[in-house]
Amino acid sequence: MSDTDSGDDCDVVLYRAPTTVVDSEAIAAWLRERVAGDIELRDRFLDCYGDEDLPEELAAARVLDPYERETGNTMLGIVRYEERALEHPERAGGVCYDGLAVQHALNTRLPASEACEALHVAVLDRVVATWGDHDGRWHKRVNVLGQPALVSVPGLAEAPARPERYYRAQQRHALLSGDAPPREALEEEVEGAFLVAGDPRTTEVLKGYVLQAIHFWTTSEAFCDRENCRLYNAHRQPALVEAQLRDPDFCDTHAERYGT
């Protein structure tokens, strides 16, 4: 275990995401080697705390337009969709949500005593975003820090921009054929340079993003500014791969706290 005397104890409740290929036990075991405090693993957050009002709140959190701040469509058909998505999460997809609104909805469902005693980390199979006042548009995120912290598995593939050579290959295919190339063809052409849905590297990358949430909770430091550290907030896929899948795990400063 790392030198836990350098940081505060932090009890963590980590929630599984059932529709994704994620080894939650491996994430919990990795955290136990680095974090002073209890790491408890529970079933899906939405299974533990979902109720009859949650579908409408999720519908109200839907991002309707990437350039419009207003969110939400609570028409009956949309609410029914959210009900079905809670019951059968494998059927959900293609929807983006206001991450802060989802976080608030889930926060109100945490028992007050538990919210005070531990950080809750909900690993979700939903795409979440936050609004950028600086450029007037929504930005997809891998995680939303706070209580509970949200970690979006599809966000790993969708939030950070893909490498430039992916877009160059896309343009080349379109120029030669006149059609948009199949996504699978592009992914094969630049294989390994970025994460895709169902990527076998997902569990390894999630370790760093869950630790980012814990680090923020215990230190109030959101991210590290060094690209060779798992606490780095990558905006592009090459930087994500560098931070989460290349040695070393941490910069010198954070290796003192989390290194093994």
Domain ranges of the chain: 4-258
What number does CATH give the domain 4-258?
A: 3.40.390.10
pLDDT > 70 fraction of the chain, expressed in percent and rounded: 84
Q: Model's pTM, two decimal places?
A: 0.86
In this prediction, residue 193 has a pLDDT band, given cuts at 50, 70 and 90, of low
In this prediction, residue 18 has a pLDDT band, given cuts at 50, 70 and 90, of confident
User: Are 47 and 83 a contacting pair, CB within 8 Å?
Assistant: no
In this prediction, residue 9 has a pLDDT band, given cuts at 50, 70 and 90, of confident
Query: Does the structure show a pLDDT above 70 at 174?
Result: no
pLDDT at site 12: 97
pLDDT at site 189: 47
For 156, the token pair is 């790993």
Name the amino acid, one letter, at 88.
H
Helices (H), the chain: 24-32, 45-49, 54-60, 76-87, 99-107, 112-117, 153-158, 164-177, 183-189, 202-219, 237-245, 252-258
Mean pLDDT of the chain: 87
Q: Determine the Cα–Cα distance for residues 22 and 18; give it in Å rounded to an integer.
A: 8
pLDDT at site 186: 45
173: left (phi over 0), alpha (psi -120 to 50) or beta: alpha
Q: What is the mean pLDDT of residues 229-252?
A: 93
